[in-house]
Structure 1
Amino acid sequence: MEGSWFHRKRFSFYLLLGFLLQGRGVTFTINCSGFGQHGADPTALNSVFNRKPFRPVTNISVPTRVNISFTMSAILDVNEQLHLLSSFLWLEMVWDNPFISWNPEECEGITKMSMAAKNLWLPDIFIVELMDVDKTPKGLTAYVSNEGRIRYKKPMKVDSICNLDIFYFPFDQQNCTLTFSSFLYTVDSMLLDMEKEVWEITDASRNILQTHGEWELLGLSKATAKLSRGGNLYDQIVFYVAIRRRPSLYVINLLVPSGFLVAIDALSFYLPVKSGNRVPFKITLLLGYNVFLLMMSDFLPTSGTPLIGVYFALCLSLMVGSLLETIFITHLLHVANTQPPPLPRWLHSLLLHCNSPGRCCPTVPQKENKGLGLTPTHLPGVKEPEVSAGQMPGPGEAELTGGSEWTRAQREHEAQKQHSVELWLQFSHAMDAMLFRLYLLFMASSIITVICLWNT
């Protein structure tokens, strides 16, 4: 019993060795006596089907050359959070099987036939960046020519990892890679090549691309590389897929409304501060902008810091700054209308400097004899009551003189107070105009800078 078991093991080993070494240097020709108008006789290919587990070579030291080509028929999605590119490919692989050969003249003129791929040896080509289980449908067929060339096509939904750069969102371009390699056969057993040129693959993909949504295909390029793993070298072909986002959806839904809100905020400076409507209007506008950002958050990438996020933060900062400026001017007006302190001399000089003709600040309309720092008693044509030397006012005259002096002092106090109010009002209007111009300058420079960055 033990001897018979040993002989069976030896027989299996020699049978396997025979399949590997059978026909070294000999051409195998299929007997197609069973071919006819209904196709080929299945039994005629049994010798080929029996060699399915082994790489089809007559010399085991000669590597099998597999030509790879694919067509990208759809760009399904780009997940910015997981950095995944979802696409649909038609992968095509072509290789030679020296054990398949027949004479078309003897086989009813048949030069090509299809057969179930499960009956043939298939190269173990996979995509390195693949992040999901290969969901290739079962029961596919392959075309076999009379010279032993096998052409195998299979559809693939590929979820591949892609290092996305979302800084320029929504005007971004991405460059993803699809690396085809073998996980079993080294360069001594399998070499990868291309059956078509890269430009042919690009043109074919553009012609049959069925999705015209958010992404468009710019082009393809390739590079060949060798992967070293565990002391072994594996052949690879790397395809670079360049895609670009169509930004029209985000421009209409994000950038244009945000620009309108900022423009309305800038125009709100023309509302008079004294009316008390500017602050409530700006607060309402600021709340509306925050609601807009909350509603549009689903359109923005959830990872990284895109430039559009900086743009929104900049617009929000401009609106908050304009609100603070309005609050500051309102406070100045409140101080001017209640009990204004004396305007500092340096501030008074600066105000006179700005209100002089040809200066940057606008000239605030002034009343007659106002804003010059002169009290009514120092105005030309106004003389103080004179007392003649040697004349002493009598009791009645002293009483009248004291009353007139009190009245004059009261008038001077009122005039000085009114003069201080006018100075503070002029200062408030000058500050409002200056801060408004600074606001416009900062807004224009910031938005132009962001647009220039997007254009790069």
Structure 2
Amino acid sequence: MALCLLLHLAFLRLGTTQPLAQEHGFSAPVVDWPSFSNLDSPQEVQETTEVPNNGSAPLLVDVLVFVSNVFNVDILRYTVSSTMLLRLSWLDTRLALNATGHQRGMVTLPWDSLWMPELTIREALWVEWQDRSPRARVDRDGHIELYLALTTETNCDLELFHFPRDQSDCRISFFAFGNTVMELEFKPHAVNEIVSVKREYVVRDLKTQVPSQELVPCFQVTLRLENTALKAIIALLVPGEALLLADLCGGLLPLGTERIAYKVTLLLGYLVLYSSLVQALPSSSSCNPLLIYHFTALLLLLFVSTIETVLLAGLLAQGNRRHESSCSLAPRVEQHDRGNPGPNPEEVPRGAKGSRRSWAEAADHIFFLLYLAGVGCGQLIFIVLWVWTTCKSDPAPGEAVPHGGWPRL
């Protein structure tokens, strides 16, 4: 019996098989993956850091993208900040178990001890991986599952023609520059996990796709963002429309210095508001926000209205000064011609003064009607452009020049 125990211990140290151990009443030892039996061996690690062989077909990596937050959309910098979770899964037959009677169904391994695709985001300004040392889960068949959480700020060609009621498609492209399409292929899926809508931009749609005609394995995540900010509409549209309505009401004041002061005050106030409104809106080489043109049109209308008031008031004041000078010369004429009973000189200037005033008031009334019609037509044109007009951005320089285009590495 003692001899049997010594032989059994010797066989265990040499890595004997399970049937011999069970023959003597001992439980079977836990067998680990062959490639990770000795992680200190560089040769063993090198075998698992190469792309797994899938025969003549490229290795298929299933990618599930969980978008959990889009927390900042900067329209002035054309950037979007988001947080997402990637679940990568693929098959590596080198890590499959060949031993029978294995007791563990899944183990976790460090990410740097096995092969994984090295992902690069093309549109990213910066990327922060939340877990610096993620661990992959491997089952007994060699299926690997790896989770990567990241926060990134990416460039987005926001379509802001209808701002602040705009919709834009922002693309986030993941490239594996260390491999070719003959070695690796992605199969992406997307899940929208955003549950809060208490923000300016919300995600209305989320989809993934694999771009065609690419020599580098890649996949894209497209976020459709919609602006739902009522605050921007109130802060931008209401002040301009209120000043335009106040300008129309100012046309009802009598023509004179009071109306000039009123119009000039409105114009100066809108100039201050105009500078702040334009600075709050982004600018681009094409498809600028329609509000920029709307605010500029309102500024021109206020300017024309003010100029009209100043000109008519100036002409009226100049006529009054001539009338006063003619009245001062009338007594001298009477002294030289006392015996000639002519018409009363005061009656002629009064008639001339009345005719001048009636002419100025008639011109001002005609201008007010034309101005009112112009404002109404302008507002109608703005609404039509806002609702039915779309703006197609110019092609990017890389696509427009003869030798441009997407990178083909």
Give the shorter-chain TM-score range: 0.7 to 0.9
- TM-aligned CA deviation for residue 139 of structure 1: 1.6
My pick for the range that moved more, 438-447 or 81-90, is 81-90
Contiguous gaps of at least 5 residues in structure 2: 1-26, 324-336, 389-409
Residue in 2 aligned with 1:19?
none
* Residue type at the aligned position of 1:215: Y
**Mapping of residues 7-46 of structure 1, within 5 Å:** 34-35=29-30, 45-46=36-37
Q: Which residue of 1 aligns with 2:252?
A: 270
Match 2:357 to one of 425, 433, 436: 425
2:371 aligned partner: 439
Preserved CA contact (<8 Å) 2:127 2:150:
no
User: Equivalent of 1:240, from 182, 198, 222?
Assistant: 222
Helix, strand or coil for the counterpart of 1:277? helix
Equivalent-residue separation in structure 2 for 1:160 and 1:44 (angstroms): 39
Task: Tell me which residue corresponds to 1:354.
Answer: none
1:376-401 CA distances to partner (integer Å, 9 max, x unpaired)? xxxxxxxxxxxxxxxxxxxxxxxxxx
Candidates 133, 137, 140, aligned match of 2:134: 140
User: How has the CA–CA distance of structure 1 residues 34 and 127 changed in structure 2, closer, same or farther, with 3 Å as cutoff?
Assistant: farther
- CA distance in 2 between counterparts of 1:326 and 1:69 reads 66
2:386 aligned with 1:454, yes or no?
A: yes
TM-score (norm 1): 0.67
Superposition deviation, residue 332 in structure 1: 3.2
Of 183-192 and 285-294, deviating more is 285-294
1:294 Cα deviation (Å)?
Answer: 3.9
In 2, Cα distance between equivalents of 1:34 and 1:64: 33
> 2:80, 2:376 → 1: CA distance?
37
Q: CA deviation at 1:241?
A: 2.1
In structure 1, what is the Cα distance between the partners aligned to 2:133 and 2:272? 54
Counterpart of 1:208 in 2: which secondary structure?
coil
Secondary structure, in 3 states, of the residue corresponding to 1:174? strand
2:20 is matched with which residue? Answer: none
Larger Rg: 1
Name the counterpart of 2:63.
Answer: 68
CA RMSD of aligned residues (A): 2.9
Asked whether the 8 Å contact 2:75–2:158 carries over to 1, the reply is yes
Amino acid across the alignment from 2:165: F
Asked if the contact 1:74–1:211 (Cα under 8 Å) also holds between the matched residues in 2, the reply is no
Structure 1: which 5+ residue stretches go unaligned?
1-31, 341-401
Give the paired residue count: 342
Q: Which residue of 1 aligns with 2:201?
A: 215
Q: Distance in 2 between matches of 1:77 and 1:192?
A: 28
- Residue identity over aligned pairs, in percent, reads 23
Tell me if structure 1 keeps the 8 A contact 2:107–2:137.
yes
Change (3 A) 1:414 1:243: same
Change (3 A) 1:99 1:266: same
Asked if 1:290 is matched to 2:271, the reply is: yes
Partner amino acid for 2:274? L
Are 2:118 and 1:124 equivalent residues in the alignment?
yes
1:80 paired residue among 75, 78, 81: 75
